[in-house]
Amino acid sequence: MHIDEKLKEYATPTQAKWIDTVNQTGSIYVASRTLGITRQSVQDGIRSVKKKAAIKGYAPEFNMTHQAPEPFLVRGVSSYFGQDGQLKGQWVKTALDNEKLQEAIKEAIDALTQDVKRVKPTPKPNNTHSELCNLYTLTDTHIGARCWKPETGADWDLSIAEDVLTKGFQLLIEQSPAAETGIVNVLGDFLHFDSLKAVTPQHGHLLDGDGRYSKVISVAVRILRHVIATALRKHQKVIVVIMEGNHDEASSVWLRHLFALLFENEPRVTVMNFELPYFAMQHGSTMLGFHHGHVRKNEALPSLFAAQFPVIWGNTTKRYAHTGHRHHKHELEYSGIHIIQHSTIAARDAYAARGGWISDRSITSITYHTEHGEAARNTITPEMIV
């Protein structure tokens, strides 16, 4: 018996050793005795390698020899044969491998940000209250969207977004209490689209975009840098939380990595690193949870956060989970936790306008006390921004 040596390219080191042993001994049974494992384990291991190879497009016994490059998988193969039974032609269809895509994005980020100029430390503010924490939420800002007032009720493009968000959050931060800690909470859909094409990542729905993706990135980075810099002048510690949204799944990944590098020389800034679309942190006896709202509905979050973050849940008596996604305010107290759904300050797009969805536009900061939970709120609307 002989196993195709090329299969070792798709095997783990252990599986590759099994393949070598089978080829050396000429038998799965003898190989299993040599390795000191069961025959079934060797068979299952080789079968697993063959499946992995087939997913990548390699299964020569079935005339599949065209491998898909990373980060792609083979989605389907169409072959046709002549009357003589010989293969005459073949079409290979591919699809993105999301796991490999995320790895490729992280590798690209690491390479591209080696030369990024780091932000220098800034002086600490004085007279802040250690028991207080201000949460500043940027959700559904849809930077890169283009909205036309006659159709949507208000204009929104890159220049308007930069002006409204920088001025709005500067005013919001200045008017909030002098808390020791400030959390810059990017709650998803910070960017309107996630690639060179102005479409939604999962379903490919066409979006009204303003400018090239590179330009959208430049504006988004400037806005977030401004918000963090303003928070640094207000607070001794600044925590940055960047959640994924349904419009910016990949962009949220590179934003976390980029801003962690930008501020790696600033000890007063911490950019949280996580992979799930759920995150939680503790401020004294207060729990703060975050989820954009595109994966799980609000009513499912109490049990999810209790199960996902049991230590934080058990160590706190006041609990709050923050969501966005639906562009309007909604708040409800469940058993043990408040679910706060935030509105957006961005104008609604054509999709929302045609669907008849209308909501007030605003941004909000919420102040939390270590022991008593929510202590204050401040709200800014577009009309308040000069």
- Domains, the chain, ordered by start: 1-55 (no CATH), 67-96 (no CATH), 98-384 (3.60.21.10)
Q: Give the pTM.
A: 0.74
Residue 230 CA, chain-centre distance (Å), reads 24
Span 226-241, pLDDT tens digits: 999 999 999 999 999 9
On the question of pLDDT at 116 being above 70, the answer is no
- Interhelix angle for 13-25 vs 39-55, to 10°? 120
Span 288-318, pLDDT tens digits: 999 999 999 999 999 999 999 999 999 999 9
On the question of pLDDT at 349 being above 70, the answer is yes
Of 185, 161, 188, nearest to 173 by C-alpha is: 185
Span 19-46, pLDDT tens digits: 999 999 999 999 999 999 999 989 988 9
* Rounded Cα gap, residues 309 and 278, in angstroms: 10
Torsion angles phi and psi, residue 25, rounded to 5: -95, -20
Of 342, 345, 365, nearest to 176 by C-alpha is: 365
> Are residues 42 and 75 in contact, defined by beta-carbon separation less than 8 angstroms?
no
| The dihedral formed by the CA atoms of 211, 216, 218 and 224, expressed in degrees to the nearest 10 | 150
